């Protein structure tokens, strides 16, 4: 299987560039091309990168069809209030999915598609399972969940028409020291609001573990949806206490005010994060461990600890000597 | 630092440990038959008198006795009671929740329908018992008897109950639920004892076995 051509859509994101770095080290990857509207956040040695906005559909189609990949990894998903506001996130995600999947349908060599989704697609309506597995019905109850369900639908249509293997990775909220995440940003504020009446548990996944799942799914030609979730769970109050933040208990009307204040301080709270705090967000990740053969290395409490182990000042003492 | 965390279902073991002494103030529970509980996952089905919280004290007592996590089914999905009960190990009465916990190797306590009389076993929910069939784990009856106002409570774990006939369809779930209810009623009729043969055909009729 050596010499495979792999296309990564969304290579500029933290997760996408991490996936690219890991793919460069894979012996089965012959050539690697990436597309994103932001440049990669890591140094890539083999990958060829194209800086393209999601709206540049014709140019994206040119790049993708000229490369004619064997494997497509789509990470072009904009979480609301992570890198863009809700309206832009919705537009960028829809445009990117249309351009990438449309172009992929024109590639005769394409064999496998791996898509980034999230456990937000299960929704948190009343009476829904506490830890849905991959067989649970999709009833997204947040804007982000609906966006992800839309991406899943488009990829399923593509895979069905072209007879491709389709692996869908439904990630728990991805956190990492440098991952732009509204949940991570909120938890790192000096004062962390939490639901006084519910304080429901949620699970997350480390960016490195999520990247490993993408690489393994691509290598194994995954052909089913999988939940990628770190073991264990934590509540917002517990996370704030672990990070030595000041927890702020809130009741119904207090959330509106807290949301506006948090937005002013640079940490907007989108509806899917509010849903996490009120209703929790867990999922059963056992199937992913069985199929991919690798469990997330970090538990949810460990991911939260890493999130807080973030130095505000990074001292690089050797720069002057190196320049000199 | 490890203090601030919950398990995969939101159960807080430290909160449970803190609440156990309070539970012991309310109920003085004696447990019999804990040796019947296998080392693997199992579904425990208990009788329930209305408003008695039998499943709660039975789960806490069995958790103390066995040293394992015993989850019980029946939390509401609304705040603040639902999240609070989740912290002490409650699951939704949703087949997916029960199946998931059983597949994770846990002990799960399900209540029969509540009855007006302490010695009457209500209908056993076959859609929840059926998850034990799907997960291929044993089902054990558990009787809970307590004084309405006093502290004394008694929990008896019976031996594994199996279906009389092998079925491949949904009848397996329904028939197993009926047999568990039957076994619960017999245990309640005999003060929780499982070795007293009232009608002379307990061994033959109940098909008590060591595996599913």
CA B86, B88, B89, B90 dihedral sign is negative
Q: Indicate the helix (H) or strand (E) that contains A170.
A: strand A165-171
Q: CB distance from A118 to chain B under 8 Å?
A: no
- A84: which DSSP letter? B
User: pLDDT tens digits, residue range A177-232?
Assistant: 889 999 999 999 999 999 999 999 999 999 999 999 999 999 999 999 999 999 99
- Please provide residue A279's backbone torsions phi and psi, each rounded to the nearest 5 degrees: -115, -10
User: pLDDT tens digits, residue range B146-197?
Assistant: 877 788 899 999 999 988 888 877 888 999 999 999 999 999 998 655 543 3
User: pLDDT tens digits, residue range B16-56?
Assistant: 988 888 888 988 999 999 999 999 999 999 998 887 788 99
Q: CB distance from A126 to chain B under 8 Å?
A: yes
- Residue A199 to residue B83, Cβ atoms within 8 A: yes
What are the chain B neighbours of A232 within 8 Å (beta carbons)?
5-8
Would you state the pLDDT for residue B196?
37
Quick one: how many helices (H) and strands (E) in chain A? 12, 11
- Residue A233 to residue B104, Cβ atoms within 8 A: no
* Burial of B144 (C-beta count, 10 Å sphere; 0-12/13-18/19+): buried
Confidence of residue B210 (pLDDT cuts 50, 70, 90): very low
Residues of chain A above pLDDT 90, percent? 85
Per the CB < 8 A criterion, the answer to whether A112 and A95 are in contact is no
- Mean pLDDT, chain B, whole residue set: 86
Residues of chain B above pLDDT 90, percent? 63
Would you state the pLDDT for residue A314?
62
User: pLDDT tens digits, residue range A262-273?
Assistant: 888 888 999 999
Confidence of residue B212 (pLDDT cuts 50, 70, 90): very low
Per the CB < 8 A criterion, the answer to whether B119 and B146 are in contact is no
Confidence of residue A261 (pLDDT cuts 50, 70, 90): confident
What are the chain A neighbours of B79 within 8 Å (beta carbons)?
195, 197-198, 278
The closest of B65, B88, B97, B17 to A136, measured between CA atoms, is: B97
* Burial of A309 (C-beta count, 10 Å sphere; 0-12/13-18/19+): exposed
B80 cis-preceded (ω within 30 degrees of 0): yes
Range A119-134 average pLDDT: 94
Would you state the pLDDT for residue B211?
35
Tokens found for residue B148: 């309405």
Per the CB < 8 A criterion, the answer to whether B140 and B36 are in contact is yes
User: Which three-class secondary structure string do you get for chain B?
Assistant: CCCCCECCCCCCHHHHHHHHHHHHHHCEEEEECHHHCCCCCEEEEECCECCCCHHHHHHHHHHHHHCCCEEEECCCCCCCHHHHHHHCCEECCCHHHHHHHHHCCCEEEEECCCECCCCCCCCCCHHHHHHHHHHCCCEEEEEEEECCCCCEEEEEECCCECCCCCCCCCHHHHHHHHHHHHHHHHHHHCCCCCCCCCCCCHHHHHCECCCC
Q: What is the ipTM of this complex?
A: 0.82
- Residue A127 to residue B4, Cβ atoms within 8 A: no
**Interface probe with B: pick from A126, A131, A139, A202, most Cβ of B within 10 Å:** A131
For residue A324, pLDDT beyond 60 = no
**Interface probe with B: pick from A141, A201, A240, most Cβ of B within 10 Å:** A201
Per the CB < 8 A criterion, the answer to whether B51 and B127 are in contact is no
Written as one string, the DSSP assignment of A3-40 is SEEEEEETTTSHHHHHHHHHHHT-TTEEEEEEEESS--
Residue B95's closest chain A neighbor by CA? A129
What are the chain A neighbours of B97 within 8 Å (beta carbons)?
129-131
What domains appear along chain A, each with residue ranges and CATH number?
4-176+205-230+284-296 (3.40.50.720)
Tokens found for residue A65: 């069809």
For residue A252, pLDDT beyond 80 = no
The closest of B59, B45, B53 to B16, measured between CA atoms, is: B59
For residue A114, pLDDT beyond 50 = yes
Of B8, B79, B86, the CB nearest to A232: B8
Would you state the pLDDT for residue B53?
86
What is the reported pTM? Answer: 0.88
User: pLDDT tens digits, residue range A52-65?
Assistant: 999 999 999 999 99
What are the chain A neighbours of B91 within 8 Å (beta carbons)?
130
Confidence of residue A152 (pLDDT cuts 50, 70, 90): very high
Residues of chain A above pLDDT 70, percent? 96
Minimal C-alpha gap between B23 and chain A (Å): 22
Range B63-74 average pLDDT: 94
């Amino acid at each position: 299987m050596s010499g495979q051509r792999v296309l990564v859509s969304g290579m500029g994101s933290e997760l996408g560039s991490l996936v690219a770095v890991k793919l460069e080290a894979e012996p089965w990857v012959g050539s690697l091309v990436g597309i994103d509207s932001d440049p990669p956040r890591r140094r890539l040695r083999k990958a060829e990168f194209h800086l393209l906005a999601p709206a540049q559909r014709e140019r994206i189609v040119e790049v993708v069809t000229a490369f004619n990949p064997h494997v497509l990894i789509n990470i072009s998903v904009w979480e609301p209030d992570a890198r863009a506001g809700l309206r832009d996130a919705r537009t960028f995600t829809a445009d990117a999915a249309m351009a990438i999947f449309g172009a992929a349908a024109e590639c005769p060599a394409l064999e496998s598609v791996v898509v980034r989704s999230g456990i937000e697609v299960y929704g948190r309506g009343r009476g829904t399972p506490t830890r849905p597995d991959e067989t649970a019905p999709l009833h997204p109850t947040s804007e982000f969940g609906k966006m992800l369900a839309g991406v899943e639908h488009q990829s399923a249509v593509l895979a069905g028409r072209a007879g491709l293997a389709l692996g869908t990775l439904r990630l728990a909220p991805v956190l990492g020291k440098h991952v732009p995440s509204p949940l991570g940003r909120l938890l790192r504020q000096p004062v962390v609001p939490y639901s006084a009446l519910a304080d429901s548990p949620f699970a997350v996944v480390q960016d490195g573990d999520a990247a490993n799942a993408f690489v393994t799914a691509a290598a194994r030609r995954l052909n089913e949806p999988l939940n990628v979730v770190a073991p264990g769970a934590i509540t917002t109050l517990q996370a704030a206490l672990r990070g030595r933040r000041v927890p702020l208990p809130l009741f119904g009307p207090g959330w509106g005010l807290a949301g506006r204040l948090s937005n002013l301080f640079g940490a907007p709270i989108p509806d899917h994060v509010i849903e996490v705090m009120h209703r929790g967000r867990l999922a059963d990740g056992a199937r992913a461990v069985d199929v991919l053969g690798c469990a997330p290395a970090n538990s949810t409490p460990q991911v939260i600890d890493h999130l807080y182990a973030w130095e505000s000042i990074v001292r690089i003492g050797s720069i002057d000597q190196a320049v000199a | 630092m490890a203090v601030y965390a919950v398990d995969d279902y939101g159960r807080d073991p430290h909160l449970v440990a803190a609440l156990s002494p309070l539970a012991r103030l309310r109920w003085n529970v004696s447990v019999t038959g804990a040796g019947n509980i296998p080392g693997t996952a199992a579904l425990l089905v208990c009788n329930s008198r209305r408003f008695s919280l039998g499943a709660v004290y039975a789960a806490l007592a069995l958790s103390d006795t066995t040293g394992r996590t015993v989850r019980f089914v029946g939390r509401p999905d609304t705040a603040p009671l639902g999240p609070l009960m989740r912290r002490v190990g409650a699951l939704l009465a949703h087949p997916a929740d029960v199946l998931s916990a059983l597949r994770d190797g846990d002990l799960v306590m399900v209540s029969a329908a509540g009855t007006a009389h302490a010695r009457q076993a209500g209908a056993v929910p076959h859609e929840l018992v059926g998850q034990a069939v799907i997960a291929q784990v044993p089902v054990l009856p558990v009787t809970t008897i307590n004084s309405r106002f006093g502290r004394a409570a008694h929990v008896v774990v019976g031996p594994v109950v199996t279906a009389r006939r092998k079925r491949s369809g949904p009848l397996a779930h329904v028939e197993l639920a009926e047999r568990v209810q039957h076994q619960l009623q017999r245990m309640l009729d005999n003060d929780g004892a499982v070795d007293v043969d009232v009608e002379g055909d307990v061994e033959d009729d109940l098909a008590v076995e060591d595996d599913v």
